Amino acid sequence: MNARRTRAVFQKEVRHVLRDSRSLIMALVLPMFLMLLFGYALNLDVDRIPTLVYDRDQSAASRELIQQFRGSRFFEIEGFVDNYGAIERGFDRSQILMALAIPRDYSRRVAAGEKADVQILLDGSDSNTASIALGYANLVVADFSNKLGSHGRNRTAGMRVSNPVDEQVRILYNNTLESKNYVVPGLIAVILMIIAALLTSLTIAREWEMGTMEQLMSTPVRPAEIVLGKMLAFFVVGAVDTVLSVLTGIYVFNVPFRGNVWFLIVTSCVFLSGALFWGILISAVAKSQLLAFQMGILSSFLPSFMLSGFIYAIENMPVVIQGITRFVPTRYFVTILKGIFLKGVGFEVLWSELALLAGFSLVVFLLATRKLKQKLA
């Protein structure tokens, strides 16, 4: 491989990128647009759950329980009803997600120290959200039940009774439990994979359609030098996109950054190189720009979004799908970014993911070179 010939291909591609100002602007603006769109839209936090209350007891005790729900940030009391039909209509019209029904003898049972039941009704059409809402409701009721039990024991014995178990919860890495703190780092990886694959998936296909590939074939430039030179030209654009995406995550979405900047730079460069080589491989396989674009979208967006652990936990997927995710490079970069941003870990923990990304980059480079040799032969 000759450095001078590689530099010549690099300079040729840079001139082409700079001349195509509209594509360059799109390549720089699109990542920011996707970051802001998905960053704000993909909010997995479940709070302010719209709730109706059916209070058949109408007592001070029932109002105290209702106040517990009203004081929680997870519930939003939308109103009070006097029958179950109103609750069903609220569910049918998607106006509420939960309803709290308090029986007539609630206050009597509480005063007598008996078991007092309350009913929680949930819209189960969104099973995940309903499960989270049920967990929050159980916590509110359990906490209120403990307070009632403590007050009852105090009145009975005339002394302060402490709980036998003192639970102290400490949440590591994301103590505010905000979904954006783990969505945004994964989103950076997904966007870079999509943009990088699309940037280079058209480059060789465009050369074939314009007829300039034949001219390139007549020069002493080798396939490996063509692949590397083209990758380096778009690597500059991808690096700018990476910087903008990371800065957006830190300063717009306020995601904590606890890791090493240099380790982030190294891993981003390795991942970006592999994604760009993948686009070049697609471009070498498909001589049509339209086909290359479609292949680039299908091979970058869907696997990165669905199979990288960005949104859906890989551990919950079927065993066969878990095996397929091992061939998705975005999976490893998502793990690296979450480790760098949230946990502050580095090479000593994430070396295996970095090694797999480097291996992917090398394998795709060799495949793209070999495919281009076949095209030129």
Take residue 362 and report the two structure tokens written for it: 């090398």
* Per-residue DSSP letter, 339: I
By DSSP bridging, strand 75-80 and strand 49-55 are parallel
Backbone angles phi, psi at 120, to 5 degrees: -110, 120
Please give the pLDDT value at position 163.
Answer: 45
Residue 375 confidence (pLDDT)? 62
- Select from 3.40.1710.10, 3.40.50.150, 3.10.20.90, 1.20.1630.10 the CATH code of 49-157: 3.40.1710.10
3-state DSSP helix/strand/coil % of the chain, to nearest 5: 70, 5, 25
pLDDT at position 326, please? 92
Report if pTM > 0.75. Answer: yes
| Structural contact between residues 284 and 375, judged by C-beta atoms closer than 8 angstroms | yes
Which segments of the chain have a pLDDT < 70? 149-172, 176-177, 211, 213-214, 217, 375-377
Instruction: Give me the sign of the Cα torsion angle 248, 252, 255, 261.
Output: positive
The beta-strand segments (E) located in 25-141 are 49-55, 75-80, 98-102, 119-122
Residue spans per domain, the chain: 3-43+178-376, 49-157
| 252, 180 Cβ separation under 8 angstroms | no
For 151-208, the pLDDT digits (tens) are: 555 554 555 544 444 455 566 677 766 778 888 898 999 999 988 888 888 777 777 7
Burial of 60 (0-12, 13-18, 19+ CB in 10 A): exposed
How many residues are recorded in the chain? 377
Q: Residues 6 or more apart from 96 whose CB is under 8 A from it?
A: 50, 51, 52, 78, 87, 90, 123
C-alpha to C-alpha distance for 148 and 163, rounded to whole angstroms:
13
For the chain, where are the E strands, in sequence order?
49-55, 75-80, 98-102, 119-122
